């Protein structure tokens, strides 16, 4: 276990081990020397910033990056003028890329003032050849570029950079490797994401993820359960199981296991009070899973079930493998078996060839399902995906107009749904002091909605009953109920 490693006792006279994770422990020890010397030279500790763009997968990868950097000896900061800055990038839509280039433009000046500063780029954007070319041509001040498959190698890559004295680019096209047992730092002491699988095999025609995250690989159930047992011993009460499509978990393992079987084992781990998961592809959601959720109160009453479009014609072009009717039938089944479940979704507007009639189908699904929340996106062309070459169809103005109509409707429905829980007393996991009002705490309901209420910070990390006094659309103002 990495917790038991004394990095200062690793002999750097020997060549690095070939086996992982021992190889990385060796490079962590080597980087520690560099950081120690630099900080003695500067007369202060060295700081690091890990900035995350994108989804929960990236958030978790960033916790791993921070875990490695802290073992190397860097101190975490939120400031952009850190000694080591890493941007963990996203490329799911063009806007995510633009943001990263914007940050790079600004940080360039920081590096001029602090020449020993190290700038690293990693994550999904770096898996695209045209991005790496741009970095080489226009952003020569970047020190390290690596991808989604070799996050675990940060210490080794940093050593190479220090030895080479110039930009290191280390991108793997794909991998079947899963390196266990490296350090990770949790953003919250009481809740944690846990990867159960990596990659995606679905190739939805608009989506870049399968190209930048590679083929589906599931972790062994024993490794997952061991990680969660250790998290529980460390005070974690809520787990979020992470995968691009958790419903196909375990299909390619030597001894196949279903996601529902894994969930059943996770909820039995002592100390774990809540289990969430992300994301569910409708085509793979089994009856077995619905039954397991229905039978286990510890599994949160929230299902994120991306529909993407309500038009069967568009769904086929998207390569989603379900129809409008199939999706609606699935939702009916889920709501019948788990009446208090909250269903949320992702919707894309303006997919190539989408007509007003197709959009009307999307609006109809929104009406029928009555989602508690929906993430709505305007279609963004991703180079390398099949849809990138297809005609747009609607004009940008028409797409904007559809987007606004959709947004308004999903917000209104969400608000009406939220109102229904007003006055109820429900268990809440207290997460933090409210960002808007320092005298309030913010907690999360099983259905994923937030509640703000008066209370002292010592309650953070506990699950407590809170009365939902007033719904504010997508959050509540509540009041803690004294327990006997």
CB 27 within 8 A of CB 156: yes
330-349 positions binding ligand 5AD, by CB under 6 A:
346, 348
Query: Would you count residue 97 as binding ligand SF4 (CB under 6 A)?
Result: no
Measured between alpha carbons, how far is 385 from 210 in angstroms, rounded to an integer?
10
- What the block records as the tokens of 482 is 């004294």
Exactly one of 207, 293, 341, 410 binds ligand SF4 (CB under 6 A); that residue is: 207
- Nearest distance, CB of residue 244 and ligand SF4, angstroms: 4
Q: Is beta strand 475-480 parallel, antiparallel or unpaired with respect to 118-123?
A: unpaired
Query: Would you count residue 206 as binding ligand 5AD (CB under 6 A)?
Result: yes
Taking contact as CB under 6 A, which single stretch among the options 83-91, 186-194, 202-210, 462-470 is the one that binds ligand SF4?
Answer: 202-210
Measured between alpha carbons, how far is 217 from 215 in angstroms, rounded to an integer?
6
Q: What DSSP character marks residue 207?
A: -
Looking at beta carbons only, is 244 or 471 nearer to ligand SF4?
244
Taking contact as CB under 6 A, which single stretch among the options 83-91, 316-324, 372-380, 437-445 is the one that binds ligand 5AD?
Answer: 372-380
- Nearest distance, CB of residue 55 and ligand 5AD, angstroms: 6
HEC per residue, 374-439: EEEEECCCCCCCHHHHCCCCCCHHHHHHHHHHHHHHHHHHHHHHHHCCCCCEEEEEEEEECCCCCC
Query: Would you count residue 371 as binding ligand 5AD (CB under 6 A)?
Result: no
Query: Would you count residue 281 as binding ligand 5AD (CB under 6 A)?
Result: no
Query: Would you count residue 210 as binding ligand SF4 (CB under 6 A)?
Result: yes
Query: Would you count residue 56 as binding ligand SF4 (CB under 6 A)?
Result: no
Query: Would you count residue 374 as binding ligand SF4 (CB under 6 A)?
Result: no
Alpha carbon separation from 146 to 18, 158, 177, 352 (Å, rounded): 20, 10, 16, 32
Measured between alpha carbons, how far is 484 from 481 in angstroms, rounded to an integer?
9
b/e burial code for range 337-369 (CB count within 10 A of at least 16 → b): ebeebbbbbebbbbbbbbeeebbebbbebbeeb
- Nearest distance, CB of residue 297 and ligand SF4, angstroms: 28
Measured between alpha carbons, how far is 342 from 337 in angstroms, rounded to an integer?
13
Query: Would you count residue 175 as binding ligand 5AD (CB under 6 A)?
Result: no
- Residue 93 interacts with which of ligand SF4, ligand 5AD, none, CB < 5 to 8 Å by class: ligand 5AD
Task: From 353, 365, 420, select the one nearest 391 (Cα to Cα).
Answer: 353
Query: Would you count residue 320 as binding ligand 5AD (CB under 6 A)?
Result: no
CB 194 within 8 A of CB 226: no
Taking contact as CB under 6 A, which single stretch among the options 93-101, 197-205, 253-261, 438-446 is the one that binds ligand SF4?
Answer: 197-205
Beta-carbon contacts of residue 482 (< 8 Å; ≥ 6 apart) = none
Measured between alpha carbons, how far is 344 from 273 in angstroms, rounded to an integer?
22
- Nearest distance, CB of residue 202 and ligand SF4, angstroms: 4
Looking at beta carbons only, is 337 or 381 nearer to ligand SF4?
381
Query: Would you count residue 377 as binding ligand 5AD (CB under 6 A)?
Result: yes
- Nearest distance, CB of residue 17 and ligand 5AD, angstroms: 38
Exactly one of 209, 299, 373, 468 binds ligand SF4 (CB under 6 A); that residue is: 209
84-123 positions binding ligand 5AD, by CB under 6 A:
92-93
Measured between alpha carbons, how far is 368 from 331 in angstroms, rounded to an integer?
10
- Residue 191 interacts with which of ligand SF4, ligand 5AD, none, CB < 5 to 8 Å by class: none
Measured between alpha carbons, how far is 67 from 57 in angstroms, rounded to an integer?
15
Where on the chain is the footprint of ligand 5AD (CB under 6 A)?
A: 92-93, 206-207, 306, 308, 346, 348, 377, 379-380, 382
Binding site for ligand SF4 (CB under 6 A): 200, 202-204, 207, 209-210, 244-245, 281
């Amino acid at each position: 276990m990495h917790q038991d490693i004394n990095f200062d006792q690793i002999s750097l006279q020997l060549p690095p081990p070939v086996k992982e994770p021992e190889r990385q422990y060796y490079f962590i020890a080597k980087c520690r020397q560099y950081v120690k010397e630099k900080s003695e030279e500067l007369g202060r500790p060295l700081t690091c910033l890990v900035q995350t763009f994108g989804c929960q997968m990236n958030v978790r990868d960033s916790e791993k990056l921070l875990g490695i950097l802290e073992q190397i000896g860097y101190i975490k900061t939120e400031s952009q003028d850190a000694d080591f800055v890493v941007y963990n990038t996203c490329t799911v839509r063009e806007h995510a890329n633009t943001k990263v280039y914007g940050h790079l433009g600004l940080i360039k000046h920081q590096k001029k003032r602090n020449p020993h500063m190290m700038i690293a780029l990693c994550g999904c954007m770096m898996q695209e050849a045209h991005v790496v070319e741009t970095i080489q041509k226009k952003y020569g001040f970047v020190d390290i570029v690596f991808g989604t498959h070799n996050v675990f190698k940060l210490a080794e890559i940093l050593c190479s950079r220090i030895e080479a004295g110039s930009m290191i680019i280390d991108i793997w096209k794909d991998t079947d490797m899963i390196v266990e047992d490296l350090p990770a730092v949790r953003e919250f002491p009481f809740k944690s994401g846990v990867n159960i699988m990596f990659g995606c095999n679905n190739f939805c025609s608009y989506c870049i993820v399968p190209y930048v995250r590679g083929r589906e690989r599931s972790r062994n159930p024993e490794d997952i359960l061991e990680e969660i047992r250790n998290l529980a011993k460390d005070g974690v009460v809520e787990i979020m199981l992470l995968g691009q499509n958790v419903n196909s978990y375990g299909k390619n393992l030597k001894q196949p296991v279903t996601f529902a079987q894994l969930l059943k084992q996770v909820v039995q781990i002592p100390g774990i009070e809540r289990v969430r998961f992300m994301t569910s592809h409708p085509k793979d959601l089994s009856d077995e899973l619905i039954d397991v959720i229905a039978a286990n109160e510890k599994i949160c009453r929230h299902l994120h079930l991306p529909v993407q479009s309500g038009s069967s014609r568009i769904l086929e072009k998207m390569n989603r493998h379900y129809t409008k009717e199939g999706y609606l039938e699935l939702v009916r089944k889920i709501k019948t078996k788990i009446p208090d479940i909250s269903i949320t979704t992702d919707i894309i507007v303006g997919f190539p060839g989408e007509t007003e009639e197709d959009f009307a189908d999307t609006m109809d699904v929104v009406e029928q399902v009555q989602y508690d929340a929906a993430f709505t996106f305007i279609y963004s062309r991703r180079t390398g995906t099949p849809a990138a070459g297809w005609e747009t169809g609607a004009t940008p103005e028409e797409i904007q107009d559809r987007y606004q109509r959709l947004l308004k409707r999903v917000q209104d429905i969400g608000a009406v749904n939220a109102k229904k829980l007003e006055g109820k007393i429900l268990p809440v996991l207290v997460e933090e002091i409210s960002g808007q009002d320092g005298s309030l705490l913010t907690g999360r309901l099983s259905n994923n909605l937030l509640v703000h209420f008066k209370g002292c910070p010592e309650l953070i990390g506990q699950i407590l009953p809170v009365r939902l006094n007033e719904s504010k659309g997508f959050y509540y103002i509540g009041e803690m109920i004294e327990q006997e």
